[in-house]
Each structure stands twice: as structure tokens, then as C-alpha cells.
Amino acid sequence: QLSYFIRWIKTLPARQKYRKQNVEQAYQDMLNTLRHKLTQCYIKTEVKNDNDETIDFNSIKITLRESHKMAHLSDREVFKKTIYAEARGECLEGQQWVAWVIKNRARMNRSYWGGNSIKNVCLQPGQFECWNGRSDIEIHEPQAYEQISRWADEIFDADSSQDPTGGADHYNNPDKEGYPSWTQNCDRVRKIGNHQFYKGR
């Protein structure tokens, strides 16, 4: 598992950028240092740092384990599971508008939303509630997930000219949440089912 995680680390854009900007030996030294530190996480439960503070590696192990699981999920899987978890009880149009909110955020490529990756947009902390504290989403209603899967790929591959939402990039359930402060910086686009959709100004 550790070797798999190291291989995954190598694919990250930041690592590739580091490799381009530095000589190959420096890149390999960095990977070796990372491999050594991760190995120590698995070997030891806790250690003392230079300031004699205790570092508990159990939490680090959990983080590594969850990252490992995330690495197995494709962008399309995360996209479909997000729609399923956020909107499976909504009508088809409401589900598709949730899908377009994800698409629009990725298109806008804002770092605080996770950049231009569909997967990163869905998994961005504090954005889509269904992923908070989770490394995967279990499918308890397979029929609902199958129905979403039938059309989700089409939206995943669509360009912005096919967007029926007019660029909506937020939504919430006002019956449960009211209208939080962030809605003051948005225009209300349309309410479908339980979800009010917005477009940021």
C-alpha cells in the first residue's frame, strides 16, 4: 500500500512541477525522504519532535489510508456519487442542475473550489457536505445510482454551451438552512424541488 501511495504522489501536479524545476537527483532525494518519513509513520505509533512534542502517527495513518482510497476513485465515479448523495431524492432536472453546479465550478477553475478538476471540486473540504469526513460514499439505493449513471457521463463530457442553468455555481436547501450570509453575494437563479440554485456575482 505504501508503494502504491508513493506512485500516486508522483502523479500530483506539484510533484511534476518540482521535477521539472530541479535536477533528477534532487527529485529522487525528495521522494526518498518522503518514503522514509511515511515508513516511520507505519512503524511507530508516536515519536518526539525536536521540540520534545509528541507526534501521534495514528491520525497520519488514517489520513494516508483515506487518501489511498480516494486514489481509487475516478473523476466520473466521484461526480456520480456526489450527485447521488446530494440529490438522489430530487427530480431529474434538480439532479442535473446539481451536476452542472459541479461542472461550472470546475470550469471557473478557482482554487478555493478545488481548481479545474471535477474530482477535486467535489472533494474540496467544506463544499459538498456528502464528502465531509468520508473517504467514499456507500450506495444504499443502487437503483437511484444506476439512473443517475445513465445520464451523468453526458453532462460530464458536455461543454458550457449545453448548460441549462445559466452558470449556476451554488445551491442549498433553504427549508433546512435558510439563506446563509454567502447567498447575499449571489443571484437566485431558480428553485427546483428542495434546492435553491444561485450564481455568484
Domain boundaries, the chain: 2-71, 75-200
Global pTM reads 0.68
Does the structure show a pLDDT above 80 at 51?
no
Q: Is the dihedral of CA 81, 87, 88, 93 positive or negative?
A: negative
Q: What is the pLDDT of residue 10?
A: 58
How many Cβ atoms are within 10 Å of 183's Cβ, its own excluded?
17
Q: What is the pLDDT of residues 103-122, one digit of tens each?
A: 999 999 998 999 999 999 99
pLDDT of the residue at 17: 61
Instruction: Give the pLDDT score at 134.
Output: 84
Q: Kindly list the distances between the CA atom of residue 111 and the CA atoms of 8, 12, 115, 188, in Å, as whole numbers in the listed order.
A: 21, 15, 5, 23
Average pLDDT, stretch 163-190? 96
Q: What distance in Å separates the CA atoms of residue 94 and residue 57, rounded to the nearest whole number?
A: 43
- Containing H/E element for 183? none
H/E run at residue 133: none
Q: What is the pLDDT of residue 38?
A: 65
Instruction: Please check the confidence at residue 76 and state whether its pLDDT lies above 80.
Output: yes
Summarize the confidence of residues 74-98 as an average pLDDT. 97
Tell me how far apart the alpha carbons of residues 110 and 129 are, in angstroms, rounded to a whole number. 19
- 61 CB burial (10 A radius; 0-12, 13-18, 19+): middle
Residue 178 pLDDT grade (very low, low, confident, very high; cuts 50, 70, 90): very high
Question: Which pLDDT score is estimated for 57?
Answer: 46
What burial letters (b/e) apply to 129-155, b meaning 16+ CB within 10 Å?
eebeeebebeeeeeebbeebbeebeeb
Mean pLDDT of 121-148: 92
Q: What is the pLDDT of residue 19?
A: 61
Could you give the percent of the chain with pLDDT greater than 90? 58
More confident call, 24 vs 128: 128
- Confidence at 199, pLDDT banded by 50, 70, 90: very high
Mean pLDDT for the stretch of residues 158-187? 96
